[in-house]
Amino acid sequence: MGTQRTLCTLLVLLLLYVSGRAYKFDMFKQNLEPQEGDVRLFGSQNISEGRVEVYHDGKWGTVCDDNWDMTEAQVVCRQLNFPGAKSVVIGKDYGQAPGPIWLDDINCKGTEKQLTTCVFKNWGETDCSHKEDVGVVCETGSIDTAISSSIHSLDHSISLSDDLGKIFDSGNDCDFRIIVRSPTGNKLDDGTLQMVETTICAHKVILSNSPLLKASVGIDNITVNISLSCQPHFTSFIRYLYTRKMDVTLSSALCLHQMASNFGIKQLKEDIGRLFSEILPDDSTFEKQVSLYQYAVDTEDLILEENSIRYLAWNFENFTMSPAWTGISAELLGALLTRSDVVVSDEYFVLQSVESWISEMGNSTSLKTQADLLSHIRFPMIPAEKLFEMESSSRLFSAHKNLYFENILKAFQFNVLLFGNLTNPKYNKQNADYQPRIYTAEPWSAVIDLSNIRDQYRQPIRYNNRFNGYDYRQSYTYGQSNNKFFRTPALKSLLFKDKIMNWRAYILQSQYECSNYGLRCESVPMARLVNENQVNLDSNILFRNQLLVMCNGKYVCQVQSFKSYMAPITTNGTQAPSYPCPDDKYTYRFVVRPEYV
């Protein structure tokens, strides 16, 4: 009885609104019209499979299967930001193909970034019929499984949510039409885009809470232009405005995030943005991570932008060795180089990576842009022995001789004078040049791997290591594998090469283990990194040590700072790490990070 009264009340409110003029909303305008040379997979419900179609002269057309093999398929899949191709499909019916056959006898090397840069006959020159249209199935890593099985329920509902959902589903007494139009990619004879459209009937009293939908008095309909791939999800988006709850899959997340962003639904935008963290580790090619970063910049989503670039920073070395590396923008590279949370073996690796990127880009990168990127290299943090080799080993030394000389001088002065005798204002210890990133090369880090129980009891191991020409004994592993002893210099400067710091690293997995060390752990597991030196340190040296949590030895899923020698470990079993680790197999790397303050 109460529910019926509620429904009646809502319907009365709905009828209070009068009809009026229409309003047009061009959503995702930048994505509406395809560009020359674009490719798509058409005719399959699976986003990674379909008939290969190419956009040329304002129309989508197909590709003949003559001379087509996995090499060409790889080019198509990488152009679509998939890791690679799984198979070629010949003879499968993907539905009617009304357009022309654009390409025939195509021959690719496999390194092309666009299919249309491969060798082929002239556009439209073919002896094929549409029965010979070729299709492909692209690799998606573990994303296929995630898309099909991973459903995330977002629920911000109120007591009347289910009733409001029934009103939307029924369409009874709706007074506001939303005309959803999507371009097919083809053009009509008059040159305009061919569109498909659908209509959703809604209620002003509900949508008036979302001002950007223009559901106000005097307006009785709007037209929304939206990409064809997102059209199936628009009804779910409007229904969310009634119920404030919805199920989101990873395949629908991007479209729903775009809708929430464009229509100002902040809570939905933020919630879906958090789901993207589950996608980030899935692509070893880093194409999706780069695409998400660029999308975040375009939509001005600062949370998603930070989430994407942080993953790239934490996994910098893998990123530099991925297919996506040479295709990134100077803006993205510059944004990475300004960060101190870049996880890398040492600063020399950063320099080599930037030099490699600049060399790969060739003349497309101006000397000014090159200098701007090189200026973000923290030369004082480069190991001293590498500084001596730089003039002969650097690819760009001759093109930027003054920049290199000035920064190498700054680095040498840091190593032999530090800041005490430097009066030049450019040598300011607060400058980012003197602040370390997260360097993992020996002797600055040690690893504890608890995934192999057989190593729980083992004999002490001792081996030699060198730092800036100084030879000393380092890294003893005692007894149980949950603790490790290692040594580092006090600072990344030759002035401190003989001042050795003794460190003890622990992974405490239970409150019992914590109590054995006289500790009370707020949560477990807990990491502990203790300086065992008896002598006082230089008061100007501050240790900002970090714990890296590695998932399956493949990627960094969490970076945690130590406070009072302790760092809580976030895992799937306790608090969620920044990026998920499906198998809960973790490796812990303790990083000593001294800074002169």
| Weakest-pLDDT range from 2-16, 163-177, 564-578 | 2-16
Smallest CA-to-CA distance from 128 within 150, 108, 103 is with 103
Write the burial class of residue 518 (CB in 10 Å: 0-12 exposed, 13-18 middle, 19+ buried). exposed
Is residue 292 very low, low, confident or very high in pLDDT (cuts 50, 70, 90)? confident
Q: How far is CA 150 from CA 168, 190, 259, in A?
A: 26, 44, 21
> What tokens does 261 get?
């962003």
Over the stretch 294-317, which tens digit does the pLDDT of each residue have? 888 888 888 889 999 999 999 999
At residue 425 the predicted structure's pLDDT band, cuts being 50, 70 and 90, is low
pLDDT digits 0-9 by tens, 99-145: 899 999 999 988 788 999 999 989 999 999 999 999 999 887 544 44
Q: Is the pLDDT of residue 580 over 50?
A: yes
Assigned token pair, 596: 């002169």
- For 243, the token pair is 């119920």
Q: For residue 7, what pLDDT is reported?
A: 45
Which helix (H) or strand (E) is 405 found in, with range?
Answer: helix 401-416
CA angle 407, 410, 414 (to 5 degrees): 140
Q: Per-residue pLDDT tens for 446-473?
A: 999 987 643 443 333 333 444 444 443 3
Please report the pLDDT score of residue 11 as a whole number.
Answer: 43
pTM: 0.73
Q: What is the pLDDT of the chain when averaged over all its residues?
A: 83
Judged against a pLDDT cut of 60, whether residue 12 lies above it is answered with: no
Residue 13 pLDDT exceeds 50? no
Residues above pLDDT 90, as percent of the chain: 46
Does the pLDDT of residue 203 top 90, yes or no?
yes
d(CA 546, CA 562): 6
Residue 65 scores a pLDDT above 60: yes
Q: Are 323 and 111 in contact (CB under 8 A)?
A: no
* H-run or E-run covering 299: helix 287-299
For residue 206, the tally of other CB atoms under 10 A from its CB is 22
**Of 200, 186, 212, 204, nearest to 26 (Cα)?**
212
CA distance 259 to 76: 28
